[in-house]
């Protein structure tokens, strides 16, 4: 199962996210749930990097089952980055409704930027 943790800041903004695990919805290389979730996460990160002024720290696992992205505190309120993160959150939440046996969403309140 893929667990997606969305980190919410006191301000109401999204401070980052963590994708962990594997969907196990199909054979390796043919798992459409895994492919779709990966595309959402990677597309969001690439879009934040390309189209916004927000900075972030990223940690990706070697086996493809781990991606953690945390916005830098000084750019966490960047409007465009927030729009991209909210869009990703909406899309992955809708996928979790369709594939509850493969995707779980957790919303976590972060009081600070402790790693």
Catalogue the active-site residues. 22, 34
Rounded distance, CA 74 to CA 87, Å? Answer: 21
């Amino acid at each position: 199962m893929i667990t997606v943790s969305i980190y919410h800041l006191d301000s109401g903004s999204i401070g980052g996210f963590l994708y962990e695990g594997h969907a196990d919805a199909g054979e390796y290389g043919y798992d459409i749930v895994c492919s779709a979730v990966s595309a959402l996460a990677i597309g969001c990160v690439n879009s934040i990097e390309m189209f916004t002024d927000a900075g972030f720290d990223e940690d990706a696992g070697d086996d493809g089952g781990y991606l953690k992205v945390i916005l830098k505190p000084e750019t966490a309120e960047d409007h465009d980055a927030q729009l991209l993160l909210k869009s990703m959150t909406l899309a992955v939440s809708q996928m979790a409704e369709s594939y509850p046996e493969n995707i779980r969403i957790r919303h976590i309140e972060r009081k600070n930027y402790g790693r």
